[in-house]
Chain A
């Protein structure tokens, strides 16, 4: 299939299976449509278009799309504001399993991930207000392996909300990190309905976090990854090093849309600060060009001209910074109209407040989301720490921080 035909097919697939946010006013409707979207992806096999096209029984469904095609696919999805295709399971758990999972683990879990049958959350960070100062422990007692502790677990963006029921999009599995008796970090791959595991959504700006209590949770040996210690932490920090199928996130498109709306707002509703704000808008637009160029560069093959690949954490860092820059500019451009929490109005099925026109309304909604405390988190790691240690060689051991808010 040539590039043009493929693009047509990809856009048609999205149009057929995703109704678009304008028709999904309430989060409940969004949730339902998200489940349908993931089901369609899984049925069509487009969920794992980026996996290797192996035919063995453990993975077997990949399509080996080129990185450029995958990136385009992500951009189309971003453009249509679909639920994330690059989920935590796809971008972190699957590469980890492919590289370090046992045959049994791969056979069970990869096909489930490919079909979006079970969503995952990542139990890496621990809350500062945990009941005990101890980290989560994995202990052998009476020939049983038991997990105890608390986690602040990260799930995919829109899959969790404090107001949503436990349905298909509720995290079905958790990748949980704990210290064993030999003081080594271990990774447990567990179903969340296991006895002793309790998940409670944490109210915050985007509802992506769960408080997880682990109380005498039994763990089977087959549920542990063989990879452990610093090597495990490094792999978690940079899953892209495990597999070429992990792609840079196409963030630039969503940010471009924000800037487009902001430009409309600034040129439509002029006031005495307009010139200053327009200068800041141009700065953000240059930064967007820079992010786009970085995203394209990250897809470039290694050659003697570009002898090292661009690390994906660099993209995360740039996207975060630009998001913050745009957020600040949005606030500055709105004046008092930065105050209404438009996403809260939306959740209660009320109309948005946009006395200055539709662009204002849409931008205000995005601004509200941009204020999320998660703006600078990369699965809980600070991208600067990853880049310093893994790419600049400034130190050996990568330590996870304790609380996501510390990265913000």
Chain B
């Protein structure tokens, strides 16, 4: 593992760190999370102006040319600030699927809007019956004329309410859980036959249930090869795991540091509660969970940058297992050590805990990834 960061990586890290520290207060975040849009359009434009929306895309596609390490450094800082803007859904998931599977023409057509901030996007991959199995797809795409007709139901589509472009996984052949026979399509959410039910998630993001009834798309909407969409989906989701895991690392750092600070100041029985050994040990364990997660974050990011394959997948699953376990421990103990304060809406602690809890579930929880790790 090489920890010598490039000048570009260092600058990227520092610029996001400055933004989160100086321009992204918790109160503003809460205000934007409660708005109609669910995030701040001004912040999104700032992300675009600073080039952050182009970080994972190649320079040929108009991006920054960054890899997994850059993505991790960025998301870790987003985790510190509990950033609510839909970077994961638009850039990492939808953008990632187009990046990995799209033709040159599709990339030229779709990525500039994502990079300049004018396009919000989403990846509709989950279905109600599938739990965490990416291949469990009942939504169908039937060839008709020069295009396809989509029918089915996609669950918990992150950023669905704001998306102007949705990448949908559908079955063009094979059985319900076959990895072969899955195809990815670009769908316009305003197209005839697409209906949405929007809702907030418990961590203050937005999502939708999407029904597809006789939705017609042309052949140019197919991302990658027909029937070969699973590989693209798997790699994209693994990048998503690295992104949310890195975000969780940032959340955990914030939680353990604020807890330590609180315990140094809060007095009980005539002394700061941080002087009690039993609480000290608990905070050390929080610190340890964060450090382990952060170290695995770098390991996973570096494996991904070395090339996507079984080794990288194994590292990603190990990271996700750690994140699930550590996030739960750090979140629960931060709430516990803050006493009743930890449960209040006004204090940020509970909000970080909610985000960590959701991150464990997203893209497969710790149990799911432990099995995947063992099978790889």
A residues sitting closer than 8 Å to B (CB atoms) are 278-279, 281-283, 285-286, 289-290, 292-294, 296-297, 299-301, 303-306, 310, 314, 317-318, 384-385, 387-389, 391-395
Contacts of A286 in B (CB 8 A): 318, 321-322, 370, 373
Contact B3 A310, beta carbon cutoff 8 Å: no
Contact B263 A394, beta carbon cutoff 8 Å: yes
Contacts of B4 in A (CB 8 A): 301, 303
Identity of the chain B residue whose Cβ is nearest the Cβ of A306 in the assembled complex: B3
Residue among A283, A300, A304, A318 making CB contact with B292, cutoff 8 Å: A318
Contact A393 B264, beta carbon cutoff 8 Å: yes
CA distance A249 to B229 in the complex (A): 45
Contacts of A279 in B (CB 8 A): 370-371, 374
Contacts of A294 in B (CB 8 A): 291-292, 295
Q: In the complex where A304-B14, A388-B280 touch, is A296 in contact with B299 (Cβ < 8 A)?
A: yes
Identity of the chain A residue whose Cβ is nearest the Cβ of B295 in the assembled complex: A293
Contact A283 B370, beta carbon cutoff 8 Å: yes
Q: In the complex where A303-B10, A384-B281 touch, is A393 in contact with B295 (Cβ < 8 A)?
A: no
Can you offer 12 A-B residue contacts whose CB atoms are under 8 A?
A: A282-B370, A289-B299, A294-B295, A296-B299, A297-B3, A300-B1, A301-B3, A303-B3, A384-B285, A388-B280, A392-B283, A395-B275
Residue among A278, A293, A317, A393 making CB contact with B298, cutoff 8 Å: A293
Contact B281 A388, beta carbon cutoff 8 Å: yes
Overall SS of chain A's interface: helix
Contacts of A391 in B (CB 8 A): 287
CB distance from B270 to the nearest CB of A (A): 15
Contact A394 B260, beta carbon cutoff 8 Å: yes
Contacts of A385 in B (CB 8 A): 277, 280-281
Contact B373 A393, beta carbon cutoff 8 Å: no
Q: In the complex where A394-B263, A394-B274, A395-B275 touch, is A387 in contact with B292 (Cβ < 8 A)?
A: no
Contact A395 B13, beta carbon cutoff 8 Å: no
Residue among B9, B277, B287, B294 making CB contact with A392, cutoff 8 Å: B287
Contact A310 B73, beta carbon cutoff 8 Å: no
Q: In the complex where A282-B373, A283-B370, A394-B283 touch, is A296 in contact with B10 (Cβ < 8 A)?
A: no
Overall SS of chain B's interface: helix
B243 at the interface (CB under 8 A from A): no
Q: In the complex where A279-B370, A395-B274 touch, is A388 in contact with B9 (Cβ < 8 A)?
A: no
Q: Which of A279, A282, A292 has the most CB of B within 10 A?
A: A282
Contact A297 B283, beta carbon cutoff 8 Å: no
Q: In the complex where A279-B374, A305-B73 touch, is A318 in contact with B288 (Cβ < 8 A)?
A: yes
B143 at the interface (CB under 8 A from A): no
Identity of the chain A residue whose Cβ is nearest the Cβ of B3 in the assembled complex: A300
Contacts of B192 in A (CB 8 A): none
CB distance from B73 to the nearest CB of A (A): 7
Contact B370 A305, beta carbon cutoff 8 Å: no
Residue among A290, A296, A299, A392 making CB contact with B284, cutoff 8 Å: A392
Identity of the chain A residue whose Cβ is nearest the Cβ of B12 in the assembled complex: A305
Contact B275 A394, beta carbon cutoff 8 Å: yes
Contacts of B318 in A (CB 8 A): 285-286, 289-290
B251 at the interface (CB under 8 A from A): no
Contacts of A303 in B (CB 8 A): 3-5, 10
CB distance from B293 to the nearest CB of A (A): 8
Q: Mark B334-376, 1 if CB is under 8 A from A, else 0.
A: 0000000000000000000000000000000000001101100
B315 at the interface (CB under 8 A from A): yes
B296 at the interface (CB under 8 A from A): yes
Contact A305 B10, beta carbon cutoff 8 Å: yes
Contacts of B263 in A (CB 8 A): 394
Identity of the chain A residue whose Cβ is nearest the Cβ of B4 in the assembled complex: A301
CB distance from B312 to the nearest CB of A (A): 13
Contact B296 A293, beta carbon cutoff 8 Å: yes
Residue among A305, A384, A393 making CB contact with B9, cutoff 8 Å: A305
CA distance A224 to B283 in the complex (A): 37
Identity of the chain B residue whose Cβ is nearest the Cβ of A300 in the assembled complex: B3
Contacts of B275 in A (CB 8 A): 394-395
Contacts of A289 in B (CB 8 A): 296, 299, 315, 318
Segment 246-289 of B: residues with Cβ below 8 Å from A: 260, 263-264, 274-275, 277, 280-281, 283-285, 287-288
Residue among A305, A314, A384 making CB contact with B291, cutoff 8 Å: A314
CA distance A293 to B292 in the complex (A): 7
CA distance A237 to B1 in the complex (A): 28
Q: In the complex where A297-B294, A300-B3, A395-B274 touch, is A290 in contact with B322 (Cβ < 8 A)?
A: yes
CA distance A199 to B5 in the complex (A): 51
CB distance from B65 to the nearest CB of A (A): 18
CB distance from A76 to the nearest CB of B (A): 18
CA distance A281 to B371 in the complex (A): 11
Contacts of A290 in B (CB 8 A): 292, 295-296, 318, 322
CB distance from A113 to the nearest CB of B (A): 31
Q: Which of A282, A286, A297, A317 has the most CB of B within 10 A?
A: A286
CB distance from B231 to the nearest CB of A (A): 24
CA distance A299 to B296 in the complex (A): 14
CA distance A395 to B272 in the complex (A): 10
Q: In the complex where A392-B283, A394-B275, A395-B280 touch, is A305 in contact with B5 (Cβ < 8 A)?
A: yes
Q: Which of A385, A393, A394 has the most CB of B within 10 A?
A: A394
